């Protein structure tokens, strides 16, 4: 029997349970979850944008990758704030992903912001 793969709905429910805990427990945990989610989204979006380069919908993927990059920066600021409040908890969320890679060029064409 294959193990149950958690769905997004399962994970969302667990996040809600985490948020219902006292702030000194929920804030570090939610920060950890948000960091991991944004990091993974950044990784996937960048990979897709790179894979789609030269294709018709590349601009849409580049736009997503660049938007998520901003999220990575925001999560770093959130982590610093949580640490400054002394709410880092027993587990460290680990290093912020490297965003030293240059951002993708601005999207042009269909799906590009106007």
CA 114 to chain centre: 25
Mean pLDDT value across the chain: 83
Tell me, what's the pLDDT at 4? 83
Cβ within 8 Å of residue 108, ≥6 positions away: 59
The tokens describing 70, both together, are 């901003």
Q: Residues 64, 69, 70, CA angle at the centre, nearest 5°?
A: 100
Statement: residue 8 has pLDDT above 80: yes
| Across 11-20, 37-46, 103-112, least confident range | 103-112
Nearest CA among 36, 15, 14 for reference residue 91: 36
Tell me, what's the pLDDT at 1? 53
Q: Crossing angle of helices 8-19/23-52, nearest 10°? A: 150
């Amino acid at each position: 029997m294959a193990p149950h793969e958690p769905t997004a709905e399962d994970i969302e429910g667990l996040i809600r349970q985490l948020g219902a805990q006292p702030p000194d427990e929920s804030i570090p945990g939610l920060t950890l979850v948000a960091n991991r989610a944004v990091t993974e989204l950044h990784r996937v979006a960048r990979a897709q944008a790179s894979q789609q380069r030269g294709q018709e919908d590349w601009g849409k993927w580049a736009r997503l990758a660049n938007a998520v990059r901003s999220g990575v920066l925001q999560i770093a600021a959130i982590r610093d704030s949580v640490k400054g409040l002394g709410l880092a908890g027993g587990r460290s969320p680990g290093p912020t992903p490297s965003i030293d890679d240059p951002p993708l060029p601005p999207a042009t064409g269909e799906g590009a912001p106007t």
